[in-house]
């Protein structure tokens, strides 16, 4: 008996954006979380490297959270667990490769030993309260990508995770169409599905085709070759290693994440024929035509291996004009500026740069419309719920589902609570949501005063004034003025204008204001902002700080 219980879907990340995936399912008062990922920050968040979903909604009722399931080990699905788990304190379930990657991340925290990470075998099932969850192996650009077949008293939800249909996967097995058809035959209430590559009509393509293309490209290159890709794309790393071996080149891995993922993959039984790896310190002893480097940093990340070498921050390696850098990856939307800057820095050093725009060096790990059509024909859900994409991606998938005869579709947004059953889909509520920023070792909200102030300083500069006044409010000494973000040749003149404006203000101000330090500071702040605007022609940012120190007795 289900009584008055309802089945709900609630995304807190990944709906209306690419990355930072976090989805919740609710049956009655029981909750199940699927994935907990990160995304990369942009220039709007200065000084921030990573962003994560705000989990305050589920944190407030974490005693009802049955568990967290990770579909696969990509950062946008698992990367936030090591940062946010103390707010959740629930068991985490994953298949072996993902579980080992997660444990490695957790080992770098002070609470890693407290996290219960439960390994689920490929194709295994777990019972979490009223949720019976079956792991269904698919293909993607990482070992062990899983869809989840989530059975509840009110119906089955098929949550695809990230996937593609690769007829020749280099790691793992091809997608089992018979298994997916059988799931559809049993009846599926809703399919929550990846939208990332929906604008591509054709299938995403095979890793085998990329291997053949890279082999041809590398056969015609002289000098050292540097290949940058996602550390988690184990199949691509194996492709690059095999191509290097084929052309008489030794393989050198650069980047902590790259080395870790290869080690974990080998521990899990993948990369069995991986060639010997040359240590970074020894790479310089090999002829240029006999070495191929595989490294992190394909998205222009400031701390990743490729950028560090480009900026001369690697003690073992520096680029020279006979080198070639291959970006065997896709440009993630939002990273165009970072990657463009990196490309220019490389070209400036005389390096030959090859990207997906120049040659066939990458295939997507996400389904095009032909693949989506096949999945819908196998699963045949009553309700289509597109996720993992911007609004334009999810809208196009919704339209595709309708064209395929799926009469019920809904396009979710982060924070939107959707009743799937009974009588769904229907939006029933909007819950608090947002983004958290990793600021060094601290986690702050993206709208916190810290980030807002930093952003204003970045665009507007800062003006700080310190004054010492006597009982009557008169100046005891010349105000101390600090101006940041103004051309040096203008600082002295503006300081003079500000001091004059302060003197005039003090001559005209009321006794009431004189006696109140807060009122006095505010009057001076407004006056100084006006003086700065009159001088520069630009409105100063709100980061105008005035400190008033009052001497009660003069010695």
CATH code assigned at 326: 3.40.50.10710
- How much of the chain exceeds pLDDT 70, in percent? 97
The verdict on 288 and 338 lying in the same domain is yes
Residue 368 has pLDDT above 50, yes or no: yes
453 part of a folded domain: no
Least confident of 133-142, 350-359, 491-500: 491-500
* Distances 341 to 175, 298, 337, 348, 520 between C-alpha atoms, Å: 38, 12, 6, 11, 46
Strand residue runs (E) in 167-233? 190-194, 225-228
CA distance 323 to 512: 72
| CATH code of the domain in which 515 resides | 3.10.20.580
CA distance 436 to 96: 28
310 part of a folded domain: yes
Angle at which helices 488-508 and 517-536 pack, to 10 degrees?
140
CB proximity list for 143: less than 8 A, separation 6 or greater: 73, 97, 171, 172, 234, 235, 265, 268, 270
452 part of a folded domain: no
Task: For 443-458, give one letter per residue: b (16+ CB within 10 A) or e.
Answer: beebeeebbeebbbbb
How far does Cα 295 stand from its chain's mean position?
A: 19
Q: Is residue 138 within 8 Å of residue 146, measured between CB atoms?
A: yes
Residue 555: per-residue pLDDT: 46
User: What is the residue whose two structure tokens read 């950028």?
Assistant: 307
Least confident of 273-282, 305-314, 538-547: 538-547
Residue 220: per-residue pLDDT: 92
- How many CB atoms are located within 10 Å of the residue 59 CB? 14
Number of domains in the chain: 3
Residue 1: per-residue pLDDT: 42
Which DSSP letter does residue 112 get? G
53 part of a folded domain: yes
Residue 383 has pLDDT above 50, yes or no: yes
The verdict on 152 and 231 lying in the same domain is no
CA distance 200 to 158: 23
| CATH code of the domain in which 142 resides | 3.60.15.10
The verdict on 83 and 225 lying in the same domain is no
Residue 424: per-residue pLDDT: 93
Q: Residues 109-117: what's their mean pLDDT?
A: 95
CA distance 456 to 477: 30
Range of the structural domain that residue 500 is part of: 461-550
CA distance 81 to 79: 6
Residue 530: per-residue pLDDT: 86
175 part of a folded domain: yes
The verdict on 385 and 487 lying in the same domain is no
Q: Is residue 52 within 8 Å of residue 60, measured between CB atoms?
A: no
Distance from the first to the final alpha carbon of the chain: 84
pLDDT band at 472 (very low <50, low <70, confident <90, very high): low
Question: In terms of Cα–Cα distance, which of 253, 325, 249 is closest to 293?
Answer: 253
Residue 291: per-residue pLDDT: 97
491 part of a folded domain: yes
Residue 361: per-residue pLDDT: 95
The verdict on 43 and 70 lying in the same domain is yes
Residue 448: per-residue pLDDT: 84
CA distance 446 to 191: 31
The verdict on 11 and 158 lying in the same domain is yes
Residue 377 has pLDDT above 70, yes or no: yes
Q: Please identify, among 307, 334, 354, the residue that sits at the C-terminal boundary of a domain.
A: 354
Average pLDDT, the chain: 91
Structure tokens belonging to residue 329: 């990856």
Structure tokens belonging to residue 240: 């690059």
Helix/strand/coil (H/E/C) assignment for every residue in 405-462: CCCEECCCCCCEEEEEECCCCEEEEECCCCEEEEECCEEEECCCHHHHHHHHHHHHCE
pLDDT band at 288 (very low <50, low <70, confident <90, very high): very high
The verdict on 192 and 167 lying in the same domain is yes
The verdict on 196 and 213 lying in the same domain is no
Q: Please identify, among 304, 335, 354, the residue that sits at the C-terminal boundary of a domain.
A: 354
CB proximity list for 429: less than 8 A, separation 6 or greater: 417
CB proximity list for 169: less than 8 A, separation 6 or greater: 139, 206, 207, 235
Q: What is the pLDDT of residues 168-178, one digit of tens each?
A: 888 888 899 99
The verdict on 331 and 290 lying in the same domain is yes
């Amino acid at each position: 008996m289900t009584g008055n219980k309802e089945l709900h879907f609630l995304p807190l990340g990944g709906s209306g954006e690419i990355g930072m995936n976090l989805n919740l399912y609710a049956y009655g008062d029981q909750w199940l979380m699927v994935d907990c990922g990160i995304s990369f920050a942009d220039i709007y968040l200065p000084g921030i490297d990573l962003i994560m979903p705000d989990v305050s909604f589920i944190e407030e009722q974490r005693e009802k959270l049955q568990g967290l399931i990770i579909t696969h080990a990509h950062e946008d699905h698992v990367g936030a667990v090591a940062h946010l788990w103390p707010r959740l304190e629930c068991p985490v379930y994953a298949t072996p490769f993902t579980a080992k990657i997660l444990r490695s991340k957790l080992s770098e925290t002070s609470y890693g030993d407290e996290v219960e990470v439960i390994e689920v075998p490929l194709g295994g099932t777990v019972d979490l309260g009223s949720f019976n969850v079956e792991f269904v192996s698919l293909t993607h650009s990482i070992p062990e990508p899983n869809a989840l077949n989530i059975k509840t008293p009110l119906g089955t939800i098929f949550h695809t995770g990230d996937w593609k249909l690769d007829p020749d996967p280099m790691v793992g097995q091809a997608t089992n169409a018979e298994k997916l058809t059988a799931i559809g035959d049993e009846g599926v209430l809703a399919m929550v599905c990846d939208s990332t590559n929906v604008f591509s009509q054709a299938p995403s393509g095979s890793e085998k085709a990329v291997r053949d293309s890279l082999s041809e490209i590398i056969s015609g290159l002289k000098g050292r070759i540097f290949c940058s890709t996602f550390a988690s794309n184990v199949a691509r790393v194996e492709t690059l290693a095999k191509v290097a071996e084929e052309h008489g080149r030794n393989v050198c891995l650069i980047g902590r994440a790259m080395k870790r993922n290869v080690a974990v993959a080998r521990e899990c039984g993948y990369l069995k024929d991986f060639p010997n790896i040359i240590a970074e310190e020894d790479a310089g002893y090999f002829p240029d035509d006999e070495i191929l480097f595989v490294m992190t940093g394909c998205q222009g990340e400031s701390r990743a291996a490729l950028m560090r070498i480009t900026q001369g921050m690697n003690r073992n390696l520096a680029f020279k004009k006979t080198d070639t850098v291959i970006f065997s990856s896709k440009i993630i939307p939002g990273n165009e500026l970072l990657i463009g800057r990196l490309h220019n820095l490389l070209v400036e050093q005389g390096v030959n740069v090859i990207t997906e725009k120049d040659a066939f060096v990458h295939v997507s790990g996400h389904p095009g419309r032909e693949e989506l059509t096949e999945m819908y024909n196998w699963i045949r859900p009553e309700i289509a719920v597109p996720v993992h994409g911007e609004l334009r991606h999810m809208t196009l998938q919704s339209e595709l589902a309708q064209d395929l005869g799926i009469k019920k579709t809904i396009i979710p947004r982060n924070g939107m609570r959707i009743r799937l059953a009974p009588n769904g889909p229907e939006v029933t509520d909007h819950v608090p949501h947002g983004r958290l920023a990793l600021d060094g070792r601290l986690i702050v909200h993206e709208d916190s005063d810290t980030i807002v102030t930093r952003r204003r300083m970045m665009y507007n500069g800062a003006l700080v004034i310190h004054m010492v006044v006597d009982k009557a409010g008169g100046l005891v000494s010349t105000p101390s003025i600090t101006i940041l973000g103004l051309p040096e040749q203008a600082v002295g003149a503006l300081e003079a204008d500000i001091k004059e404006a302060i003197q005039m203000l003090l001559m005209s101000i009321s006794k009431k204001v004189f006696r109140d330090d807060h009122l006095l500071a505010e009057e001076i702040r407004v006056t100084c902002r006006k003086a700065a605007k009159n001088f520069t022609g630009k409105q100063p940012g709100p980061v105008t700080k005035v400190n008033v120190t009052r001497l009660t007795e003069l010695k």
